[in-house]
Each structure stands twice: as C-alpha cells, then as structure tokens.
Structure 1
Amino acid sequence: MKKIVVMLSLGMLVTGTTFAQEVTKGDRKPKTERIGQDGGKKDTRTPEEKATQKAQKVTKKYNLTQAQQASLQALYLKQETETAAMKAQSRGAGDVKTKDREDFKAKRAQWDAELKSILTPEQYAQYQADRKAKASQKAGKTAKKGQHLKGKEQKKVQGS
C-alpha cells in the first residue's frame, strides 16, 4: 500500500512539474500588431511642436538671445516641414534612394548655412563640436554592435 501511495505522489509530482513549464503564447498578438506597423516609433507631434522643442533645447544649451531664438524656431519649422515632405515623396517613389539622399544632404548643407548665419561664431563652433562628439559616440556604438555580432558569428562557426 505504501508503495502505491509513493508511486502516485511521485507521478503527480512529475506531471505537475511538466505542466508548470508550459508557456502559452496563444493569447498574445504578434509583435508587429502590438507595436504598430511603423515599429512603435510613431511620432504624433506636429512640425510646430517639434520645431519649438528643438529651438528651446538649443536656446538653453547655447544661451541664445530672443532674436536668435525666433530665427532658429523659424528655421526648424522650415526644416521639419521640408523633411516631412521629402519623406512622403520618397515613400511613394520607390527606388530613387540615392537621389533622395543627395537631395537631403543638399538641404542639410543649406540648413547648416542658415544656422551658421543665426548663431555667433562661438556658438556655432560649440554646436559643431557637440555634433562631432555625438557622431563619434554614435559611430562607437555602431562599431561595438558590429563587434558583438561578429563575435556571435565566430562562436557559431566554432561550434559547428
């Protein structure tokens, strides 16, 4: 009798642990449906709000005057509307990616020239230094990510 009780309890214990490890994924929607079609990075702000936020950030960082702030906000508003128009145009076009990049680089150079005319030479020099620092930081992150992926590939090759 004791053997039967022990065997039944052991059987229930094994059965309970196997069911405890089961994960149900049927209730969850696929990731693309949960976060939306655009990867969850949908920006619902208007160009005016974006321009105001950028202008306030730069004003605070570089201690701009009221006149500079107004000019900068107008520049950022122009930049946001043109960027939105270029993005909408490139989405509908299809395979003209290189031309779009060149157009965007030309616009970026134009906006940079306008920004240079708004800021004082000291402010512009600081802006350029900050921009270079941010670019090098971003390049460092990209390089680290690439090294990480290369390491995984090497482990896969060694493992097989």
Structure 2
Amino acid sequence: MKKLLIILAAAALTAGTATAQTTNARPPAANGRMEQATPEQQADRLTKQLSLSADQRTQVVTMEKARREEMTTMRGQMQAGGDRTAMRQTMQTMRDKYDTQLKGILTADQYTQYSQRREERADNQGSRKMKMKTKG
C-alpha cells in the first residue's frame, strides 16, 4: 500500500513538472513560428526599454502599422512570382526608411540605446545560428 502511494505521488509530481515546462509566453503560430508582436506590443516594449513618452509611443504604433501594411503588400507580390533580388532591395529600402522614421521620433540617447540593443540581438542571433550549424 505504501509503495502504491509513493508511486502515485511520484507520478503526480512528474506530470506537474512536465506541464509547467511546456508553457510559452506566446504560443507558436500555425506555421510553427512564434507569433509576431502587435504594433502596440512592440511600442510597449520600446516604451519600457527606452522610456518613450505617450506621444512617441503613438507615433511608433502608427509607423509600425504602416510598415506592416507595406510588408503585406510586398509579400503578396512575391508570392505572385516577384523577383527575389528586387524584393531584397525593396526590403532594405524599407528597413532604411523605418530606421530614419524611428530616428526622427526618438531622442538621440534613445536612438543610441535602440541601436545598441538591435546590434546585440543581431549578434545573439548570429551566434545561435552558428551553434545550430555546428550541432548539425
């Protein structure tokens, strides 16, 4: 009887820890990738990181919504058989435009912080990709 209780308790603890480890902050999308943050969520993240004012936050949300509309249009053109090289150049132009707009919204200090964080993220992504290549 004691053995049965011990086994049941161990099974309950194991099941509890297994389900606790599988919760994500954002569930994966249908294609297996993580859901992209909404413009409001991105603005909230920048507000916390860079101490944006209410006006700056509103401008960031508006700019991000416009950027997403452009991206959706461009993806539709690509799926319709667009040129990949032209698409890549257009994407770079859009990134530069976004960066210029953001630079106009943020103060010099905020933009410096933003640039540093972006470079750190790029470095982290690059190191993760290298680890994946060496594992495989």
TM-score class, shorter: 0.7 to 0.9
Q: Distance in 2 between matches of 1:42 and 1:133?
A: 20
Q: Is 2:103 the counterpart of 1:127?
A: no
**Residue number in structure 2 paired with 1:39:** 31
**Residue number in structure 1 paired with 2:70:** 82
Q: Distance in 2 between matches of 1:52 and 1:82?
A: 17
CA deviations 1:86-134 (Å, max 9, x no partner) are 111111125x111101100001101100000000000000000000000
Aligned-residue RMSD, C-alpha: 2.2
**Residue number in structure 1 paired with 2:12:** none
Q: Distance in 2 between matches of 1:56 and 1:82?
A: 22
CA deviations 1:55-100 (Å, max 9, x no partner) are 1111121110111111111111111111111111111125x11110
Stretch deviating more after TM superposition (125-134 or 83-92): 83-92
After the TM superposition, list the runs of 4 or more consecutive aligned residues in structure 1 that deviate by more than 2 angstroms: 38-43
Q: Which runs of 5+ in 2 are unaligned?
A: 1-27
State whether residues 62 and 123 of structure 1, in contact with CA within 8 Å, keep that contact through their aligned partners in structure 2.
Answer: yes
**Residue number in structure 2 paired with 1:50:** 38
**What does residue range 1-160 of structure 1 map to in structure 2 within 5 Å?**
39-41=31-33, 50-94=38-82, 96-149=83-136
Stretch deviating more after TM superposition (51-60 or 107-116): 51-60
CA deviations 1:2-53 (Å, max 9, x no partner) are xxxxxxxxxxxxxxxxxxxxxxxxxxxxxxxxx99x633485x8xxx82111
**Residue number in structure 2 paired with 1:156:** none
Aligned residues: 109
**Residue number in structure 2 paired with 1:23:** none
Report the TM-score, using the length of structure 1 for normalisation: 0.62
Q: Which runs of 5+ in 1 are unaligned?
A: 1-34, 150-160
Q: Distance in 1 between matches of 2:76 and 2:118?
A: 27
Identity %: 25
SS of residue in 2 equivalent to 1:55: helix
Report the TM-score, using the length of structure 2 for normalisation: 0.73
